[in-house]
Amino acid sequence: MAYTSQSSHRAAALLASAVAALGLLTACGSGNDSASTPQKVSGTAAPATGGSDSASDGTTDTGTGKATDASSGTSSSGTSTAKTGSTGGSTSGGTGTKTATSTRCHTSELKASVGGNDPGAGQENFPLVLTNTSGRTCTVRGYPGAAFTDSAGKQLGPDPKRSSGTPTTVTLKPGQSAWAGLTFSNPEISGAATATPSTLVVTPPDELDPLKVAWSGGKVPVSGNSSSVFLTVLSPGTGP
């Protein structure tokens, strides 16, 4: 009987061991991931090596060397995808490259000069010229500002008036010019009081900073009959 009892105990122990081993194997196979599927780890996706795999940044490799943005459906070449973006500004072609929003010529990009007098019918006519000295193409439009001053910087006479005209946008490539007519009645004919300026102060359209040009055109009317000085709109070139 003792022998039979020892055999029964040994059989029971072997059975318990087998059950425990079976339970351990069952526990290893449970959960969301199977033993044949690699476990996902957060972080930067490694370069694709073939097959279909989801990256941590929301892009999916299709096994063809192109990565597709899951949010937009767009694709870009390469084995891995890096998201880029930009904020603010105006962009061109979706590349994130900012483009200029204004092409107006600024004072710092221009040089002012005054051409020779072209008198006619009792009028003195001088071309006031603005030349693009920058390395970019820019535009001017409308009337420049102008004033005559003496050597101390004091203005002589009132501000010039604007002749009637239709402003147009003048595009200036580097080195190109636009001109406006600066005209007034000959003081000897009109009888206006005169002064001889040392400087013509010129302000480009829509700008605040002026340019200064030495005046060599002689006397100008500053008060009295027909003392007004007139400016025309800017046109392409350096004069009529």
Q: Domain range spanning residue 153?
A: 107-236
**Nearest CA-CA partner of 128 in 197, 179, 170, 74:** 179
> How many distinct structural domains can be found in the chain?
1
Whole-number mean pLDDT of the chain? 72
Q: What is the CATH number of the domain that holds 177?
A: 2.60.40
Q: What is the DSSP letter of 157?
A: S
Would strands 161-162 and 229-231 be described as parallel, antiparallel, or unpaired?
A: parallel
3-state helix, strand, coil in the chain (%, to 5): 15, 35, 50
Tens of pLDDT, residues 182-214: 999 999 899 999 999 999 999 999 999 999 999
Residue bearing tokens 């040994």: 10
Q: What is the mean pLDDT of residues 154-176?
A: 96
Whether 211 is covered by a domain: the verdict is yes
Whether 155 is covered by a domain: the verdict is yes
Residue 140, token pair as written in the block: 């001017």
Q: Which of 16 and 200 is assigned the larger pLDDT? A: 200
Residue 178 neighbours by CB distance under 10 Å? 27
Q: Which residues pair with 172 in a beta bridge?
A: 138
Whether 192 is covered by a domain: the verdict is yes
Whether 125 is covered by a domain: the verdict is yes
**Nearest CA-CA partner of 179 in 107, 113, 88:** 113
Whether 206 is covered by a domain: the verdict is yes
Q: Which amino acid is at 171?
A: T
Whether 14 is covered by a domain: the verdict is no
> Rounded CA gap, 79 and 95, in Å?
20
> Rounded CA gap, 193 and 191, in Å?
7
Tens of pLDDT, residues 72-101: 344 333 333 333 333 333 333 444 444 445
Whether 22 is covered by a domain: the verdict is no
42 falls in which pLDDT band (50, 70, 90)? very low
Q: Which residues pair with 162 in a beta bridge?
A: 231
Whether 191 is covered by a domain: the verdict is yes
